[in-house]
Amino acid sequence: MDKSESNEPMISADVAGLIATGIVARGGINLKLYRTEVELVTRGLWSVETVWKVEFVIKERYRHFNVVCPIVEVDSKTGQVMMHSYPRCSEGPVMEHATSPLRHSLPDGHTGIRVNREPAPIEIDRGINYDEWGALFWDELGATDPHDAPDWQRVFSDSIPNYPKLATILGEYASYVTFEGDDLRALINECVQIANSAENPVALEVVKRILTACEIAKKENCSVTFIGD
């Protein structure tokens, strides 16, 4: 039998996934794409077509609050993209890690830094984005990912016992935490300790940014707040 007439796919699921990834990325979406499902679908009555249906979740490493699921269909024989769309996932927002209502919205996976000076608070430019947070906690400090453990806060904080204040800045887990007085001084000491030994340049930049906010708060005799989203 001529292979071109066979109903068997000529491109693999992995190849279809690569094609689909390129299409979605060219759609202007900058977050990482995680393929969640590749399914071979045959349909049609008069003209039968067999396509790989590739579904993604747009996220950084974990589920966030505003999840969009691109779907791309790729012809199983030619690799031609048949269709792509960006519907919202049917899965509802994931809020199980939220420790406090967010006071303002930031891009998913970011942590805002605010010095609570009166009468005009100071917002530290950029805050901490997810990759920077990961460079500090996962790469530099070697924290343990708690995933969806019931006692996820303990799992995370216990994995970095020398940094109990930093361990409360939960980044993607939507923390809202304020430091002042002795807690502020303890956070400064932890960041200085890391700055003196950091091997990851991104992690070093993050602790310098935190120290900048803390030093302003200390000088102004006020507090500093980290708002995770």
117 and 87 Cβ atoms separated by less than 8 Å: no
How confident is the model at residue 225, as a pLDDT? 94
Q: Is CATH 3.10.450.40 the right assignment for the domain spanning 3-85?
A: yes
- pTM for the whole structure: 0.55
Average pLDDT over residues 187-196: 96
Q: Which helix (H) or strand (E) holds 71?
A: strand 71-75
Rounded CA-CA distance 176/12 in Å is 45
Residue closest to 181 by CA, chosen among 207, 214, 134, 147: 214
Average pLDDT over residues 98-126: 67
Range in 58-67, 85-94, 141-150, 165-174 the model is least confident about = 58-67
Instruction: List, by residue range, all CATH 3.10.450.40 domains of the chain.
Output: 3-85
